[in-house]
Each structure stands twice: as C-alpha cells, then as structure tokens.
Amino acid sequence: MRPGELEELRALVAEGCRVLAARQLAPGILGHISFRIDESRMLIRCRGPQERGLLRTTAEDIRLVDMTGAPGAVGALDGGYTVPYELPLHSRILMRRPDVTSVVHAHPHNVVAADLAGLPILPIVGAYDIPGAVLAHGGVPVFPRAALIHNPALGDDVADSLGDRPVVLMRGHGLTSTGASVQEAVLRAISVDVIASLSLSIVSAGGTLVPIGAEDLADLPNLGAGLNLGAAWRHEVSRLD
C-alpha cells in the first residue's frame, strides 16, 4: 500500500457513510460500511465516545481492524472507539466472497416497509435506473430473520442468503449491499431503495408491479463505469454540500 493510501480509503468510507445518511438510507446512528484491506483486515466505521450519527462521519471514525474485530494496527481502537456489534455481517461476507471489496449495511425505511408488505424488488424500471434494473432482474434475495447479526453463525446465514448476488434484504431490519468499491456498494443500495420506494407508491395508488419486458431489458445499454460509478458518485457527494 502506497504512503497515504490508507488515509484516503478511510476518507472514502466516511464519505460513503455520509452519502447513505443524506439519502436517508442510514438515519441516526445505525449502519456501517467496511472495506477489505487484505485477507485478514478491513476498514470499518466504528463508534466513538462522541457518536453523532452517520451524517457526521469523519475519517477518524473509520478504523483498521482484523476480521475478528481486534485492532488491525497499533492504536487502531484508541480514543474509546468500538467496532460495530454487527461486524460478523461484514467479516463473513468478505471472507466468503473474494469478489467483494466493500460491504454496506443500512436501514432504509422504504426497503423495510416494502419487504414487510410482501413486495419483491422487481425490474419495474428501465432507463430510469439502468444499473438498478439489471440488479433487480437478477433477483434480490431476502434474509428472513430480523436478528442483530452479532456472531459468525448469523453472519454465515446472511452470506448464505446473499449467495452470489450483490444485495440481500434483511426482513424487519434493512439491507446489505456489496461491491468492488465503496461507491459501487453504496450506489447499489440506493438503487434498491429507489425501486422499493416506487413499488410502495405504485401499490398505494392501486397499481400492480409489472417487470419491464424482456425486449426492453435486453435493449438497455451499459453506459460504463464513467457514468454509472464516476459521475453518479460525484453527484451523490455534491449533494452533501
């Protein structure tokens, strides 16, 4: 790792937390993001003695720990910081999914409500949100328990439900999304929340959720990471101002 890179990554994870909060996916003090550093260590949002919620997350709140929650560097948990209770949610997914670099756990109100109402995440939109449509078409599984994921066994259960998909809903709890970067994991969570919100509005208006047709789905272009990740992330960060 080059000099300064760890501090840049801490800042990025903190930025991701603020984006989640600004989007109302992680209101209050609940929710966290992790980032794999290597096979045994991750950066993760920790809670300090002056906790103010995700919207106020700074790089200082992002600490380097090993996959068990112990400090991953000398002084990593100095200052009264503690790892999240749900650290096993992150560690078990990261250990079982080598393709995943970042894990997001959030509590979006509309995602919880839509799932409890029995509304699945379907590809009901097309060009409105192309990455979201593609994600939904592949299926969004549901972890059926409303438990706090506080031990490795529960972490494995969530990882089992997630399988090889990028996002899993957590009944009565929220969602967990993954990605090859913090940006990708956060933006996937936002897409699922948008579809859940639209689904609730459609059903409330007396409509029925109907996936877009196969022809339209096949015709959706891949606009590339420059737009889907680069420009989309710059937009989310600009909203923080």
Angle between helix 109-116 and 182-204 (nearest 10):
50
Distance of CA 151 to the CA centre of its chain: 19
Q: CA 170, CA 148: separation in Å to the nearest integer?
A: 10
Show the DSSP H helices in 59-181 as ranges: 87-96, 109-116, 130-137, 152-162
| Token pair in block for residue 201 | 């509005």
88: its two tokens: 């096993």
By the 8 A CB rule, do 85 and 155 touch? Answer: no
* Residue 176 φ then ψ, to 5°: -130, 125
Choice among 86, 184, 215, 236 that is catalytic: 86
Please indicate whether residue 184 is annotated as part of the active site: no
For residue 187, give Cα distances in angstroms to 29, 39, 156, 228.
Answer: 20, 24, 24, 9
Catalytic residues: 86
